[in-house]
Amino acid sequence: MSLLATPKGWPTILLEVAPAVARFGGLRRAIRELGPAGTIAEIAAAGLRGRGGSGYASADKWRAAAAAGQELGPRVSRYVVVNAYGADPSSLTDRTLLAENPSAVVEGAAIAAWAIGAEEAIIAVRAGESAAIAALEAAAADARAAGLLGEAIAGTTRRLEIDIRTVQGAYMLGEETVLIKALEGKRGQPEQRPPHPAEDGLWGAPTVVQNAQTAAAAAWILRHSAAEFRATGTADEPGTILVDVRGPAGGGIAEVPFGTPLADIVALAGGVPTTTKGGTAAKKGPAADAGAGRPIKAVLVGGPSGGILPADHLSTPYTYEALRAAGAHIGSGSVIVADDRACVVDLARVLTRYCADEACGKTIPCRIGTRRLAEMGERLAAGTSRAGDLDLIITLADDITGSALCDHERLATLPLRSGLRYFGPEVEAHLEQGICPAGVCRPIALGRAATTAVAPTSSPATTSPA
Amino acid sequence: MSFVPGLGLVKGMSLTLRRFFEPKATVRYPEVPADVSVKFRGRLQLLLDEHGALKCETCFQCAQACPIECIDMGGMDTKGRFHVHWGPPETYGERREESALRRSGRTVPDPSFASFTREDVDPLDEVLDQYDYDPKRMLEILEATQAIYGHLPVAAIKKISQATGAWYAMIYGTASYYGHLHFESPQAEAQVAAMAARRPSESTYLDRLGASLDGTSPSGAAPS
Ligand SMILES: Cc1cc2nc3c(=O)[nH]c(=O)nc-3n(C[C@H](O)[C@H](O)[C@H](O)COP(=O)(O)O)c2cc1C
Ligand code: SF4
Ligand code: FES
């Protein structure tokens, strides 16, 4: 997938390929100038947060892993795992990063390993991504040639190795405890946390799991400075993140600063919002154009377990906090624009079914909860809902969120939840009148097609069947 | 029907009387404690649901949780081959498909009745040697095995289990999780309808998502 052109003035951090002279400069600085504690302090000062979905402060993880097992002496094994799996099929952000800037990922992995006292960093890549794997191998070989990997790195007595491992075969491998299981050669089901991997991770050793973009950001911070990093993004969430934007008019990968309004991200994919003034203007008339002349109906933010936000929420800043409050999440960095051809019920149904099918089966909320949720979504779309289904969706979603073992089940409730929250009338039309206003859901829409007999391009929301 | 009037009655009553004076086998549990070992926890048995499908998800939580490792999962098919149970690589998605098929009343083809081919497991020696007989590298071993056979034959899993010391059930549990590992040759899987209904691939998801965004979803038709 192609890189999208971003407006002038947007910084390039994750995709900044260091010039030859400055290559691995961050790692050198960490080793020669800062030392492990100083490196962690620099990351803390930069306010770096994980780019893999949870937005957890990286420095806290590193500190915890560096401190864990200290009583066992200086030679206790620790690991760094860089999560470059990219679980969401509809987001190619991490894969793009590996292709565009492999040395930053390798450098970031090495920096993290240096900081926490690990001798081995594993970069977990999707099997089959042979170009990315080759690029990573080449970058690691360069670092080794520069004396930054191997037995005694950069004049110290420390050993540091980078291992590129391939994993494949399930969506859940993106979740950190599942990824660790896969690296251990086990069935991929999540573990209860705490203990967090920082204390009890790969082979029971303290392990820092960090997304590939987080690693690249860490490398940039040490190449430049924490203060420079803080100049981008918001105060709480500095820096940039890669997004995968898709819309009717096209799409691609872009690096965006945290806090960018969703509208600006959507605009990158060719959807041109007419206004960012506010909700009221946007609500009436064709508020925002999804490209190809159709109005934006909704934006799916966060991948298969993302939230479906209406067009009047396009002013929401792209941050962990704001999206969470809106009922979505950054997740895989996926932003998908739906125009008025899409039906929110159908969209939520497809998403929830995928989440249920990919649920690992370990716990009841995961095995049975997500499945019941998907069935209720399917009943809504099929026009066979039972009395009380809407309440049941909310109650069940609350129960799943409350009792889930891993975040997958929690997040899997978002498509239906956000659908109910923002598109109440559309959902109720399915439930109470048995019609699909967008004319998508077949069993109900068939009746509509028979009564109205219009071309599918007619404005769907205005024609109401008998 | 007897032609002697009352003979049936006499026969019946004689049985009743005989049983009446015989010593009783009934244990008046719970008033009288049953005479079983204090460690007895009942018989371990997998249950079937109302449609005759196995309720067990093969998730191995029980085997992994059991503190004295007395639970392992396994079974024999009709050819005496050792199996946990037949089926495609599964998480919940596939088991659902299979039991949906059962519920529909159609017969689920049983690959255990397929002809038995002897597998040559010698090539495995090299693989096992390469990975140092290390059960911690099970996924790599399984992937290398699949590269040889095109799937994971029972005989191969059995041999890996013996050589690495990992339980057969654990290996099965690992292999059944990952979408890219198969227990049957592609040809055999193609013959079995239930196996075709595996967990949707990523491209299936992207197709469904794309159709939903275009407003062309075949909705309502999804299996539940
Ligand atoms: C269902 C699920 C899928 C996930 N997929 C990914 C993924 O593909 N890549 C990733 O980096 N993190 C993924 N995560 C988040 C990881 O669990 C973990 O938080 C992350 O790798 C930690 O790195 P970070 O702190 O740098 O974000 C996923 C989490 C869940 C619950
Ligand atoms: S494997 Fe899982 S589903 Fe099957 S009996 Fe054990 S715990 Fe239950
Ligand atoms: S997906 Fe099974 S516990 Fe989270």
CA torsion, points B13, B19, B20, B24, in degrees to nearest 10? -160
User: Which residues in chain B are contacts of A90 at CB distance < 8 A?
Assistant: 205-206, 209
Report yes or no: A178 at the B interface, CB cutoff 8 Å: no
Ligand 1, residue A54: give the atom nearest the CA. Answer: 19
DSSP A48: -
> Is the separation of the CB atoms in A334 and A301 below 8 Å?
yes
Residue B180: Cβ-neighbour burial (10 angstroms; 0-12, 13-18, 19+): middle
CB contact under 8 A, B215 and A440: yes
User: Which residues in chain A are contacts of B200 at CB distance < 8 A?
Assistant: 354, 357
Q: First and final CA of chain B: distance in angstroms?
A: 53
Kindly report the protein residue whose alpha carbon is nearest to atom 4 of ligand 2. B56
Which residues does ligand 3 sit against, CB inside 6 Å?
Answer: A 172, 190, 359-360, 362-363, 366, 405-406, 408-409
Q: ipTM, 2 decimals? A: 0.85
Report yes or no: A454 at the B interface, CB cutoff 8 Å: no
Q: Is ligand 2 within 6 A of the CB of residue B56?
A: yes
Q: Which helix (H) or strand (E) segment is A390 a member of?
A: helix A389-403
Give me the tens of pLDDT residue by residue for chain A, a chain 466 residues long: 688 888 888 888 888 888 888 889 999 999 989 889 999 999 999 999 999 988 899 999 999 999 888 777 767 799 999 999 999 999 999 999 999 999 999 999 999 999 998 999 999 999 989 999 999 999 999 999 988 888 888 788 888 999 999 999 899 999 999 999 999 998 888 988 888 998 899 998 999 999 999 999 999 999 999 999 999 999 999 999 999 999 988 889 999 999 999 999 999 987 654 444 443 333 334 456 666 678 999 999 999 999 999 999 999 999 999 999 999 999 999 999 999 899 999 999 999 999 998 998 888 898 889 989 999 999 999 888 888 889 999 999 999 999 999 999 999 999 999 999 999 999 999 888 888 899 888 766 554 444 443 334 434 444 444 3
> Is the separation of the CB atoms in A296 and A273 below 8 Å?
yes
Sorted by sequence, the CB contacts under 8 Å of residue B205 that are 6+ apart come out as A89, A90, A304, A350, A354
For the record, the structure tokens of B2 come out as 């007897």
Ligand 3, residue A362: give the atom nearest the CA. Answer: 2
Task: Measure CB to CB from residue A185 to each of B139, B199, B219 and give the nearest one.
Answer: B139
This prediction has a pTM of 0.80
Which ligand is closest in space to the CA of residue A112? Answer: 1
Any bridge partners for residue A79, and if so which? A120, A207
Amino acid at A211: N
What number of other Cβ atoms are within 10 A of residue B165's Cβ?
A: 10
- Tell me the C-alpha distance between B63 and B58, whole Å: 10
Report yes or no: A252 at the B interface, CB cutoff 8 Å: no
Sorted by sequence, the CB contacts under 8 Å of residue B18 that are 6+ apart come out as none
Interface test with B, best of A334, A341, A357 (most B CBs within 10 A): A357
B 25-54: CB under 8 A from A: none
